[in-house]
Amino acid sequence: MSTLARAALCAHARRAALARGRSPIARARAYVAHAGGSFENVTSDDLREMIETADDSDVMFVDVREKDEWDALKVRRFELKPLSDVGSWLNALPREKKLVVMCKLGGRSARACDALVAAGYDNVYNVLGGITEYSEKYGSD
């Protein structure tokens, strides 16, 4: 694992300690609120608009959940890039595109966003509430 990926995971541990004792969605939001990275958080409503209007030449949608989670529930346009394999894809994503990152609740995607920002990516967006909130509002594909 790269130094950047390790740094992002250490930051995650600090944020996770702040979120203990809350509901899963509250924990994810607390985690994201303390992320401190240079990425932007978007809501499930924002995500819906992006999915409907974004051009593939400008935006890449990244799901950082694990394969079994992906197989159970997907959102169209997202590509699977498990956070557990971050070392293999971290520097391979297109730097000229907006990167919209999602997981189950928003915590792992925030870690991935931290790693992307640390690796020099500029247009990084974390989906608050993750696929859980999105699928409750809009269903899945």
> Pick from 99, 92, 118: which is nearest to 6 by CA?
118
Q: How many CB atoms lie within 10 A of CB 39?
A: 23
Task: Divide the 141 residues of the chain into consecutive groups of 10 and give the mean pLDDT of each group.
Answer: 52 49 52 61 96 96 98 96 95 96 96 93 96 94 71
As to burial, measured by CB atoms within 10 angstroms (0-12 exposed, 13-18 middle, 19+ buried), residue 32 is buried
Q: At what angle do helices 3-19 and 107-118 cross, to 10 degrees?
A: 140
- pLDDT the model gives residue 74: 95
Q: What is the pLDDT of residue 69?
A: 97
User: What are the structure tokens assigned to 111, written together?
Assistant: 């870690």
Tell me how far apart the alpha carbons of residues 74 and 40 are, in angstroms, rounded to a whole number. 22
CB atoms under 10 Å from CB of 57, counted, come to 9
Q: Are strands 78-80 and 124-127 parallel, antiparallel or unpaired?
A: unpaired
Domain 3-138 in this protein, CATH class: alpha beta
